[in-house]
Structure 1
Amino acid sequence: MNVTDPTPTALAQGWCALSLLHGRIETHIEHALQAGHDLSVREYSLLNTLSRQYDGPGGHLQMKQVAEAVVLSQSATTRLVTRLENRGLLNRYLCPTDRRGIYTEVSEAGSALLAEARPTHDHALREALGTAAENPELAPLVRAVEAVRTPEAV
């Protein structure tokens, strides 16, 4: 049996730092959303993802695409959709052109809650990043996150 060097590689250290940053941010946002809006990070993410759908060709996401966007399995995404539908935040309906397809859309109540929760989410994100930036190990990752721009933000 070979004994390997227990010192983590630079790549492993980077991955651990990224995982730590993600966990801290998600926990901070989770607390803020739960306290202010009775929403989890996953629920917020699902509402946010579905709110960007539009009617017309290519305007709806398949459940697989939604699952990928919220980083959950398809079955976990379905359970999450059902939970939010039971709260009146989502609606499901049959695809008008393919009766096998089921679409999910954000209800008026869901849109209102999302609009109310978005500033809380963004503020908690900024707070968590600000705190993380004070940690020398996490500061470069924070700068990288802050440098990322989505196509619509450019």
Structure 2
Amino acid sequence: MTATHVAATGLVHGWYALSLLHGRIEAHIERALQSGHDLSVREYSLLDVLSHQHGGEGGHLRMNQVADAVVLSQSATTRLVTRLEDRGLLTRYLCVTDRRGIYTDVTEAGLALLAAARPTHDAALREALDRASQDPRLTPLVDAVETLDGPAAS
């Protein structure tokens, strides 16, 4: 086995472990949010991202920025926004300075649901990480996640 093959195999195992950790966490949070609040992980993430917008300069995200933030394609994000808008959790409107831009804001009902769901999300995340830390393949990744401190600097 060549050194390159050994390195590639290690990389593949690392990627597998990361995918496994992500899948376990997302599935656990999904079940908790669905049963407790009738929300998917993606819906929760979208509400959370949009709840951090503000009315000042550069305070609103364009749909492509929202799509990047929730890790979906732009078309999937638009469908997700439409579903939440139909439920009264979001509202869309035209940007006053650029009529091509469409902004999305969380409604009061959306903010209330997000506030109610946040403790469920956080507890499910903690539970999923605690369970994952029992798997030796995932322990280093759980440790890395737990040492992260907020968003990375741009």
TM-score by length of 2: 0.92
How far off its partner does 1:97 sit? Answer: 1.5
Q: Deviations over 1:6-44 (max 9, x none)?
A: xx7111000000000000000000000000000000000
Q: Deviations over 1:70-127 (max 9, x none)?
A: 0000000000000000000000111122222111000000000000000000000000
1:103 is matched with: 103
What secondary structure does 1:105 align onto?
strand
CA distance in structure 1 between the aligned counterparts of 2:126 and 2:115, rounded to whole angstroms:
17
TM-score by length of 1: 0.92
CA distance in structure 2 between the aligned counterparts of 1:136 and 1:20, rounded to whole angstroms:
12
CA distance in structure 1 between the aligned counterparts of 2:124 and 2:148, rounded to whole angstroms:
18
CA distance in structure 1 between the aligned counterparts of 2:108 and 2:14, rounded to whole angstroms:
42
Determine whether 1:122 maps to 2:122. yes
What secondary structure does 1:57 align onto?
coil
2:11 is matched with: 11
Give 5+ residue unaligned stretches, structure 1.
none
CA distance in structure 2 between the aligned counterparts of 1:60 and 1:141, rounded to whole angstroms:
33
CA distance in structure 2 between the aligned counterparts of 1:128 and 1:102, rounded to whole angstroms:
36
What secondary structure does 1:61 align onto?
coil
Q: Percent identity?
A: 73
Q: How many residues align?
A: 148
What secondary structure does 2:65 align onto?
helix
CA distance in structure 2 between the aligned counterparts of 1:49 and 1:86, rounded to whole angstroms:
18
Structure 1 runs of 4+ aligned residues shifted over 4 Å read none
Give 5+ residue unaligned stretches, structure 2.
none
1:77 is matched with: 77
Structure 2 matches for 1:3-152, cutoff 5 A? 9-150=9-150
